[in-house]
Amino acid sequence: QQQDAEFQLLESEPADPSETAGTEGAGTADTQPAERTKATESAEPGEQPETSTEQYPEASSEGAEPTTEETEGQTEASGEPVMVTSASFEEEVLTSDVPVLVDFYADWCMPCQMLEPALETLASDYAGRAKIARVDLEHDPDLGEKYSIGPIPALLLFKDGEVVDRTVGVQPQEHFERTLDDALE
């Protein structure tokens, strides 16, 4: 019976707590530490072991990528691409005082992922003079429809609320630098 209590302990508690880090609540933005039930070793023969709930902060989402809500509305001075949604598009793009290069993308799109480092560099290099914005088409397909986005990545340059340039597909960073420089003249 003591062996049964030890077996239950092994089933409910991995030897290394990091084995379950990040597995509970996967796919959610919940920031509460994950809870896991742990059987205690003080069970007497013939008794069920007691259980307790412990919190494991290593399984929380601290340090995870920021959500759209956390990055939405960052200004061009931040030097990072701004996540834009249908709700913030007019304010962040159409009424912006600076040209805005908008990347229409999806997380599953490998070419879109290839552009991310260049967009981050552009956001930093053009901070205060231009803005780099990103629209996740999985969350805001209506914006894709409104601007006739087909293949992605699709990057539209807005100046004074109007589309002044459209690029589809992966291009070198220099292409976007020339496009932004032309808009700034």
Active site (annotated) includes residue 112: yes
* Collapsed DSSP state (helix, strand, coil) of residue 160: coil
Structure tokens at 37: 């039930």
Q: Within 13 Å of residue 180, how many CA atoms lie on the same side as its CB?
A: 23
Half-sphere exposure (Cβ direction) of 119: Cα atoms closer than 13 Å: 27
- Find the catalytic residue in 84, 100, 112, 149: 112
Which tokens in the block code for residue 77?
């001075």
CB hemisphere CA count around 58 (13 angstroms): 6
Active site residue 93: no
Phi and psi for 110 in degrees, rounded to 5? -65, -45
Exactly one of 21, 109, 168, 170 is catalytic; name it.
Answer: 109
Active-site positions read 109, 112
